[in-house]
A and B are shown apart, each in its own frame.
Chain A
Amino acid sequence: MRVKGILFAAALAAVGLTSCARSPQRAPEVVAATVKSVPLDPADKAWAAAPEHLAKLVPQDLVEPRLVTPTTPELLVRALVDGSSIAFRLEWADEDPSDRTGPLRMADACAVQIPVSREKDLPDPQMGQGDRAVQVTYWRADWQAAVDGRVEAIADLYPRAAVDHYPFEAKPLEANPAAQQEMAGRYAPAKILGNLRSGPRKTPVEPLISAGPGTLTPVAWQGEDGKGVFAERRWQVVIKRRMPEGLRPGDRTAVAFAVWQGSKQESGARKMRTGWIGLLWRASS
């Protein structure tokens, strides 16, 4: 019994070290506290200023393909604003983290969704609808690894892989990097077309807009950024984006979240999500 008690205390201490200080009472909605400058680091002390909201996740089961079996049950959310940016700190448990993609191998990911306009009649929480679009900021674990310095190459994905030859690395082209790049591009049309999935990657997040399922579209970067850290079997991810249009201190809008567990082959529509949650910019901290 005594050993069990010690282990329990140690486990509590470990959680305390890696997570932000827990609020005595969880907020019923996401309440954004004001700080001088929003932090990107999920371990930053500034997060303690924001109350914690426990968001319950439900499977995406409205459009095909649906997620039939629930996975990640809940998400801890905090938010900070500095007048020009709003940052969300998302935290959830993940027993089997995944920061690579491959055949049927998906990366862990999360996203924040905010309606484009602050109307009382909110759009559908599932990716918005027709004339009422939503803004989505999406973070992914493999992009985080790339930003953190991991070189994206087959040898890293598959350490025992042996590649005979790439034509654009042939001897005669070695002295001509421009020709090499041009030839390599012929085999990477997504990259040539500027598909952000193909990199190069400066941030682990991607800004998007959506007006209904299947309409998600990347938009121009406007300072979105993020940082994800995996520790103690939990993801702690900060997603930073510009302030919602017209939001002033004391105002309220709505926010929704989604989490993808890569090890469960979740991607795209196969995800755990919330409905709309109130997002209040607390007038003073």
Chain B
Amino acid sequence: MARVNNWQIGREMSYWYPESRPRRQFAAVFDTNKCIACQTCTLACKTTWTSGKGQEYILWNNVETKPYGSYPLAYDVKLLELLGSQEWVGDTYAGRTIFEAAPAGERVLGWGPEEQDYAYPNIGEDDCAGQVDHGATMALPHMSWFFYLARICNHCTYPACLAACPRGSIYKRPEDGIVLVDQGRCRGYQECVRGCPYKKVFYNPLTGTSEKCIACYPKIEQGIQPQCFVNCIGKIRLAGWVSTPDKARPDNPIDYLVHVRKIALPLFPQLGLEPHVYYIPPVHVPESFNRQLFGPRAAQAVKAYLNAKNDPDLAGLLCLFGSTEMVVARFKRQGETVVGSDESGATLVQVPLKEPVFVRPAFDPRFQLIRINCP
């Protein structure tokens, strides 16, 4: 094992291969507070990439209701139990990652879902964490809660799928950090399925190979956001490029959310993969749950997000989510407008911080009658 730096856990760690970062890293920010679990993203992906024979159960993108939803069944709870109780000391993870906790003879600490584990893609859907008592009133965090967690492959810096594959059939592209299974080389051993803690590699029984999210790389290569991003009706997603903290650029939308304002956090950073889908945590969920999923900065992230209304730069950037099909590489607020541009600085989109509001008077003076709000 090599020693590598993982900025998300604030320390060096052991990994199967030496550190080798791509020239730039594909990344995404998902705002959990906007997701309504309509599954449009799921279908956009499904119809584009996984409508073939043998792919029936494969969901490169899925949306699960937390705390009880999971696909495959209990993918997160099972691994957390295997890993056991671990600790953070401040922003540094003092516990063991899944590479450091690998049992003798294994490359990573993992487990393999059985067929039945894929039988309940919508388990726990809209289920609350508890009963709502009679007479209860709303307060933050909610006494009873749930939220939607949209998931794709995290295109990690240290992919467990890549480490687990004994024949090097999985690779991370140096040009964009997208992690792919070489469909010509894969022999379907399913080590990647066992190894990925997010269970985002799926075995196709009819091609005999394992398949995973490709971050719509044919679109990314043209500067266009993936299918699950551009079809999101809640506009919860933003695709782009994330830097390491030392190279963060404040005008890069992903860097701004992840490194400058620190409101977008990785999912289960303690596992050690340095995943690159960053989540704005749900504001109404108990801190302990957010902390388990998103690490020790979850509470601060919620606080900063709730203050966005007083923070025009942050509010402006949040307005860029879902505003254009193109990948926004740079952003800038100009007064009441936020401008998104590409790498060359060419404007892609301009969005007002506040949408103009037109108030239609309740009384129509022309016809001398009171308007009613129905068509």
A3 touches B (CB below 8 Å): no
A interface residues, tally (CB under 8 Å) = 45
Minimum C-beta distance from A193 to chain B (A): 4
Q: What chain A residues lie within 8 Å of B105 (beta carbons)?
A: 61, 64-68
Choose from B50, B114, B168, B191 the contact partner of A268 (Cβ within 8 Å): B191
Q: How far is the CA of A194 from the CA of B183 in the complex (A)?
A: 9
Given contacts A65-B106, A102-B115, contact A195 B193 (CB under 8 A): no
Do B52 and A268 touch (CB < 8 A)? Answer: no
Given contacts A63-B166, A64-B106, A103-B193, contact A188 B53 (CB under 8 A): yes
Minimum C-beta distance from A57 to chain B (A): 17
As a 0/1 sequence over residues 168 to 190 of chain B, the CB contacts with chain A under 8 angstroms (1 = contact) are 10000000000000011111111
A71 touches B (CB below 8 Å): no
Which residues of A come within 8 Å of B, CB atoms?
A: 61, 63-68, 100-106, 152-154, 157-158, 161, 163, 166-167, 184, 186-191, 193-195, 197-199, 213-216, 265, 267-270
Q: What chain B residues lie within 8 Å of A191 (beta carbons)?
A: 207
Do A103 and B115 touch (CB < 8 A)? Answer: yes
Q: What chain B residues lie within 8 Å of A195 (beta carbons)?
A: 183-186, 207-209
Q: What chain A residues lie within 8 Å of B56 (beta carbons)?
A: 154, 161, 163
Given contacts A102-B203, A103-B203, A187-B55, contact A64 B190 (CB under 8 A): no
Which residues of B come within 8 Å of A, CB atoms?
A: 47, 49-57, 72, 104-107, 112-115, 117-118, 164, 166-168, 183-191, 193-194, 202-209, 211
Minimum C-beta distance from A211 to chain B (A): 12
Minimum C-beta distance from A261 to chain B (A): 14
Q: What chain B residues lie within 8 Å of A64 (beta carbons)?
A: 105-107, 166
Q: What chain B residues lie within 8 Å of A270 (beta carbons)?
A: 189
Do B183 and A189 touch (CB < 8 A)? Answer: yes
Do B208 and A197 touch (CB < 8 A)? Answer: yes
Do B167 and A190 touch (CB < 8 A)? Answer: no
Choose from A154, A267, A268 the contact partner of B53 (Cβ within 8 Å): A154
Do A104 and B115 touch (CB < 8 A)? Answer: yes
Do B183 and A268 touch (CB < 8 A)? Answer: no
Interchain residue pairs with CB less than 8 A apart (15): A102-B203, A103-B112, A103-B114, A103-B202, A187-B53, A188-B54, A190-B207, A190-B208, A195-B184, A195-B208, A197-B207, A197-B208, A198-B208, A199-B208, A214-B166
Q: What chain B residues lie within 8 Å of A167 (beta carbons)?
A: 47, 51
Q: How far is the CA of A209 from the CA of B295 in the complex (A)?
A: 46
Minimum C-beta distance from B168 to chain A (A): 6
Q: What chain B residues lie within 8 Å of A100 (beta carbons)?
A: 205
Given contacts A268-B189, A268-B191, contact A102 B205 (CB under 8 A): yes
- Known pairs A61-B105, A65-B106, A157-B205; list 17 more (Cβ under 8 Å): A65-B166, A66-B104, A101-B205, A103-B203, A104-B112, A104-B115, A105-B115, A190-B208, A191-B207, A193-B184, A195-B183, A195-B208, A213-B166, A214-B167, A265-B112, A268-B187, A270-B189
Q: How far is the CA of A186 from the CA of B54 in the complex (A)?
A: 13
Q: What chain B residues lie within 8 Å of A68 (beta carbons)?
A: 104-105
Do B51 and A166 touch (CB < 8 A)? Answer: yes
Do A104 and B193 touch (CB < 8 A)? Answer: yes
Q: How far is the CA of A193 from the CA of B114 in the complex (A)?
A: 28
Q: How far is the CA of A103 from the CA of B206 in the complex (A)?
A: 11
Q: What chain B residues lie within 8 Å of A190 (beta carbons)?
A: 183-184, 186, 204, 207-209
Q: What chain B residues lie within 8 Å of A105 (beta carbons)?
A: 114-115, 205
Do B53 and A103 touch (CB < 8 A)? Answer: no
The number of inter-chain residue pairs (CB within 8 angstroms) is 133
Q: How far is the CA of A177 from the CA of B168 in the complex (A)?
A: 36
Given contacts A166-B53, A213-B166, contact A103 B47 (CB under 8 A): no
Minimum C-beta distance from A64 to chain B (A): 5
**Which A residue's beta carbon lies closest to that of B116?**
A103
**Which B residue's beta carbon lies closest to that of A64?**
B107
Do B167 and A268 touch (CB < 8 A)? Answer: yes
Q: What chain B residues lie within 8 Å of A184 (beta carbons)?
A: 52-53
Minimum C-beta distance from A8 to chain B (A): 38
Given contacts A68-B105, A190-B186, A195-B183, contact A153 B53 (CB under 8 A): yes
Q: How far is the CA of A72 from the CA of B304 in the complex (A)?
A: 59
Minimum C-beta distance from B54 to chain A (A): 7
Q: How far is the CA of A149 from the CA of B69 in the complex (A)?
A: 40
Do B115 and A267 touch (CB < 8 A)? Answer: no
Q: How far is the CA of A102 from the CA of B72 in the complex (A)?
A: 14
Minimum C-beta distance from A277 to chain B (A): 24
Minimum C-beta distance from B25 to chain A (A): 24
Q: What chain A residues lie within 8 Å of B203 (beta carbons)?
A: 101-104
Q: What chain A residues lie within 8 Å of B209 (beta carbons)?
A: 190, 195, 197-198
Q: What chain A residues lie within 8 Å of B53 (beta carbons)?
A: 153-154, 166, 184, 187-188
**Which B residue's beta carbon lies closest to that of A105?**
B115
Do B107 and A267 touch (CB < 8 A)? Answer: no
Choose from A103, A158, A163, A199 the contact partner of B113 (Cβ within 8 Å): A103
Q: How far is the CA of A103 from the CA of B166 in the complex (A)?
A: 18
Q: Which A-B residue pairs are the 9 nearest by beta carbons? A: A187-B52, A197-B208, A268-B189, A66-B105, A193-B184, A104-B112, A190-B207, A190-B183, A189-B183
Q: What chain B residues lie within 8 Å of A103 (beta carbons)?
A: 57, 72, 112-115, 117-118, 190, 193, 202-203, 205
**Which B residue's beta carbon lies closest to that of A66?**
B105
**Which A residue's beta carbon lies closest to that of B105?**
A66
